[in-house]
Amino acid sequence: MDNFKITVIILIIILVVAIVIYYTSINSNKTNTEVKEVDEQVMENSKYIYISPSQMAEQIKNMNKDEYVILDVRTKQEYDDERIPNSVLLTLNEIEAKASTVLPNKDIKIYVYCRSGARSQQAAYKLISLGYKNVYDFGGIIDYPYEKIKGIK
């Protein structure tokens, strides 16, 4: 009789664990689906576009300076060493904390660059996830063939 009771208790425990796992997975899938839908809505309402430095230069040529921002996402030291004229520094690590202050207009065109293009892509996706609508990644300053400023402002 003792073996029978032990077997029944083990089966009940297994059944309870299976039910908990089942319901946890249903809720987890629902949450992931909801997050995915929100991400898709953000992406639909926002633009991430990779463009070349020459395309960026052509686009801003006939724009007023209040219609766009050239955003440098490198470190302060890199920015102080060399930068694109009229660019604004907002390091990759500071985007979540300071973007709303540095970039208050979420509809403005934002042209993002870094040294080689890796950080600018990460930054562009972060900006989009924060609700910025027109984000253009033009890669790295190493590929930028136009005027650059060297040294601290």
pLDDT digits (tens, 9 = 90+) for 79-116: 999 999 999 999 999 999 999 999 999 999 999 999 99
Q: What string of DSSP letters covers the chain?
A: -HHHHHHHHHHHHHHHHHHHHHHHHHHHHHHHHHHHHHHHHHHHHSEEEE--HHHHHHHHHTS-GGGEEEEE-S-HHHHHHEE-TTEEE--GGGHHHHHHHH---TTSEEEEEESSSHHHHHHHHHHHHTT-SEEEEEEEGGG--S--EES--
- The CATH label, of 3.40.250.10, 1.10.357.10, 3.30.70.1560, 3.40.720.10, for the domain at 47-150 is 3.40.250.10
Query: pTM for this one?
Result: 0.71
